[in-house]
Chain A
Amino acid sequence: MHGTRILDEADRLMTVCNSCRYCEGLCAVFPAMEMRRAFSDGDLNYLANLCHSCGACYVDCQFSPPHEFNVNVPKTLAVARAESYAAYAWPQALSGTFARNGLVISIVAALSMAAFILGFAVLNDRGVLFGVHTGPGAFYKLMPHNAMAALFSAAFLYAILALVMSVRAFWRDIGTPIGGRVDGGSIFQAIRDAGELRYLHGGGVGCYNEDDKPTDRRKLFHHLTFYGFLLCFAATSVATLYHYLLGREAPYPWWDLPVVLGTLGGIGLIAGPIGLLVAKSRRAPELVDEQRYGMDVGFIAMLFLTGLTGMLLLVLRETAMMGPLLALHLGAVFALFITMPYGKFVHGIYRFAALVRYAQERRTEA
């Protein structure tokens, strides 16, 4: 017996699957399962986070419902995965944020944006808030650079700390493979597997939708979103270097590196999340963990909002809308940062850790 009902079910399914093994060529979950004959809570949480939810094993399974063995691995692991986020959350007092995550994220986002607008309005007079500001340092007329940097650094560092503590708990729980130590090769392998979403492919044909055909484009949209996010992050990092090392203040002209990176990233962060939302709505209903719909949509919406406000800010930065848009954009980014450890963002962290563990296990076995 396990700690939760869903882990009991995951254990039952892994016992069924381990006596079948037809799916071992589809992804990493089944080969990892085959290295075990019994499953601890940690093992099941590891397998749950290794699963990319492509759905191939469901459509390929001769025992999926209505068969009496009732094998639905993608959904069971999706629920287990979501419950593992709460189980490993740091501090544990905040694990409840995963229960009604959509609500939590929207409230935090709304409050953050309201706080920035209010802050700008209180600290600046109307003329400045709705004024037209151009040239270097224009943004900082509304919020001093040091205040901005301090606030976002604090939020970001807190997010990093909470994520590190959470993934540490996960890493400990999933145990160390025999003779296994984290080596550079395993990490490099995991970076490649995560970077190309190697296991989000339905064993090669692509993922399944409600229409019975492998036409799911989630992989593409996930790439747009993920690399869009990275490009935006790179844009901010380059801008920070410009500011402190070169003494060059934002906003930068459209052809300058931070803006080019940010524009490309922003396009990804708009197109990617829209695609993911559409793909989500077309997903075969039997594969979906409905209870976490809010968490998924909340995170996708936050990314979209970040991309959208950023792009609007770029386009309208020389108009009177700059002030309010800057407040909205900063509010969105702030909310995204502080909710990172308590929302869907963590899926990437846990999955990456699981991929490292899997690469390790494969190397140990070989």
Chain B
Amino acid sequence: MGSKYDVLVIGGGNAALCAAIAARRGGASVLVLEGAPKFYRGGNTRHTRNMRCAHDAATEILTGPYTEDEFWEDLLRVTGGQTDEVLARHMIRESKDILNWIVEQGVRWQPSLGGTLSLGRTNSFFLGGGRAMLNALYLTAERLGVDVEYDAEVTDLVIEDGMFLAARLKRPIKGESEIRATSLVAAAGGFEANIEWLKQYWGEAADNFLIRGTPYNRGSILKMLLAKGVQEVGDPTQCHAVAIDARAPKFDGGIITRHDSVVFGIVVNKHSQRFYDEGEDIWPKRYAIWGRVVAAQPDQIAYIIFDSTVVTSFMPTLFPPIAGQTIAELAGKLELDPAALEKTITEFNAAVRPGTFDHTILDDCVTEGITPPKTHWARKIETPPYLAYPVRPGITFTYLGTRVNKDARMLMADGKPSANMFAAGEIMAGNVLGKGYAAGMGMTIGSVFGRIAGREAAKHARN
């Protein structure tokens, strides 16, 4: 392989493709190396559906303005201040133009999907979902002359003094080779599918985690970069994790295994004990904490328990609820101690105070005298059949990453910017997301920093 590219992009999701397109439009020759087979291309982007971008006025598909300041405040709130303000504000500012830029790359928007009205003002949805978005980006990249290889496993990076020289590659048919490039864009995601790596921080509990994306998000590029002197950012235990159905496949169950029924019932652990206020806040805002909450329970399993009166209050689910005519029968099917579950529900029911139920606001249906309390939407569980969903932590993506500056340029351990290495997407999400999550942020990070990384990588290659 004698050829040399201006820009080598490692990864194949939203960030990688935005980088590749931006670099190609900037006049560079570009090669994209996607480690997954073609069907599974795009990492977690496959499973996404929207992007959070700031905008000063309503658009065709967004119901109202979402200012830079409001975006910033939301980010501040979900991260509890654990964010890089300069970088985050820069991202938010750039996100405004992404709304148009991404459409120029062939991606189409649609109004928020059924059941997601709460995101109608802030988040733009991809028509057809994340895979449709990816298809459009790949089509555009290929039309522009970007080369793309699938099943391309990068086995090593040749980096000298913070300068990328080449990537070693193992391909199923062509075998091993080396690819040289003037600039590198690393957009290869996090390590959520690498159970061994997760175990370093989570211990054996990680065996019980379900991975919402493909098995290809193994973080090998991240590991190489950190091992070769790139500065680390983010808490390795932090990730976007939600509670998903325990019956979901180990990998790639995507969005359809999620549950949004928590607020309509109670959640108990394997000892039939409640452990967290199910009515803490309006559902989407607290959606992302339940993965971690369940991860902290014994055997990383929990059960959402509700009764037949609320079945139509939330979206239909992929897996049907497990049902019992009595609490004891339900407990039997869940392999819980019937007496313990009956006791928990009896105590809960007794603690429910009368109120006016309204799941769209923080209503006044509360419990009194139990710990933890349920501070909103508390109603008695008393109308059979009794129903349950078993849930486990579903890891979406990890936050440990490479530190970057505003140009998406990686910083080396000594604080100096790398000469020619850039990062975008999940691999650097930890710069912005110290912890917590708000819907659509991952895609914002991917598109904004992908575009910047591609532009800067091309600029470097031309000089």
Contacts and interface: CB of A to CB of B under 8 A. Distances in A.
B46 A24 contact: no
B128 A26 contact: yes
Contact of B129 (A23, A66, A205): A23
Interface stretch (B109-117, B275-283, B397-405, B421-429): B109-117
Interface in A1-35: 15-16, 18-26, 31, 34
Given A20-B255, A67-B252, A62 B318 contact: no
A203 B108 contact: yes
A19 B317 contact: yes
A15 B132 contact: no
Interface residues of A, number: 29
A59 B135 contact: yes
A22 B129 contact: yes
Interface in A33-62: 34, 37, 56-57, 59-62
B341 to A, nearest CB: 26
B24 interface: no
B316 A60 contact: no
A131 to B, nearest CB: 60
Contacts of A18: 315-316
Interface in B120-140: 125-132, 135-136, 139
Given A19-B256, A59-B135, A67-B252, A203 B127 contact: yes
Given A21-B114, A21-B115, A204 B127 contact: yes
B213 to A, nearest CB: 10
Contacts of B130: 22, 62
B113 A24 contact: yes
A39 to B, nearest CB: 10
Given A26-B128, A66-B39, A204 B135 contact: no
A261 B461 CA distance: 63
A158 interface: no
A67 to B, nearest CB: 7
Contacts of B47: 62
A204 B110 CA distance: 11
A61 B256 contact: no
A20 B254 CA distance: 9
A362 to B, nearest CB: 13
Interface string B254-274: 111000000000000000000
B379 interface: no
Nearest to B130: A62
Contacts of A23: 128-129
B249 interface: yes
A60 B128 contact: yes
A202 to B, nearest CB: 9
A63 interface: yes
A203 B317 CA distance: 25
B312 interface: yes
Contacts of B113: 21-22, 24-25
A22 B316 contact: no
A21 B125 CA distance: 12
A213 interface: yes
7 contacts: A19-B318, A25-B113, A25-B127, A26-B127, A57-B128, A203-B127, A204-B108
Given A21-B115, A37-B316, A60-B135, 7 more contacts: A15-B316, A15-B318, A16-B318, A19-B256, A21-B113, A63-B256, A203-B127
